[in-house]
Structure formats: C-alpha cells, structure tokens
Amino acid sequence: IKGVRFIFSAILLACHDAPRLHIANYPHHIVQRGHNRAACFFADEDYQTYRHWLGEALAKTGAALHAYVLMTNHVHLLLTPKAAAHIPRLVMAIGRRYVQTINKTYRRKGTLWDRWIGGVAGADGVGALSCLPDRH
C-alpha cells in the first residue's frame, strides 16, 4: 500500500452498504449523520458535550484527531487510528455517550444517528484534507 494514494470516502459516502475499510496509521474521514438528517445538536452546550465525549474516546483509543466539523445535523472527523479496530470503537463510544447525555438533557428517547460512514481518506495525508467540507 505504501506510495499508493487512494481516497475511499467518496465511494463510501455514495454507497452506504459498502464494507468499511479501516487501516491503522492512515487518516480516515468519518461522517456521523443525524437520523433522517435531523438535528443532533440543539444548543451551544451540545457541541461542547460532543467534544467532551470525542476527547474521552480519543484518549481511550489513542487515535489522532486532525480536524473536525460539527454541523447542526452531522459531524465530520478526520482522524488516524493506531489500530483498525479503534475506528468502530471510537464512533460507537461517542455515539453511545453523547446520545445518553442528549436524551437525558432533553427528555427524549431513541437514537440521534443514522449509520456512520467512513473510510481511508488519503494515504499521504494530502487527499485527506480535501475530504473536509468548506461549505454545506
């Protein structure tokens, strides 16, 4: 794989049923969308709460966060895991803890998220930055 540049994010975003490819020590573009594209952040404090649980998950997995974008109804993460198994663990941990907090705060039930989408963003790090949106 060394020396080969590949960008899988666009493919994975286009095909929800595509298998997720996770490779240790390569940047990954992860997208968490609100269920049915509904809001997942309702107040300024919610963004801080998400960042808190993201920090906890990063500390547990040792993944390196390069950039993130928190939109009203979805999240983009650009991160590099130390192990391939860290990506699903990280996303599930954030989702579980954040949703618990939001459901308790707003007295709601159920999930906030649709299935998350993600894959190798760019083996050389250059293509990885192009995965982040400049506008929506």
Q: Tens of pLDDT along the chain (136 residues)?
A: 444 334 333 434 444 455 567 888 999 999 999 998 899 999 999 999 999 999 999 999 999 999 999 999 999 999 999 998 899 999 999 989 999 999 999 999 988 888 777 766 654 444 544 555 544 4
pLDDT of residue 19: 58
pLDDT of residue 79: 93
pLDDT of residue 76: 94
Is residue 46 within 8 A of residue 72, CB to CB? The reply is: no
pLDDT of residue 121: 66
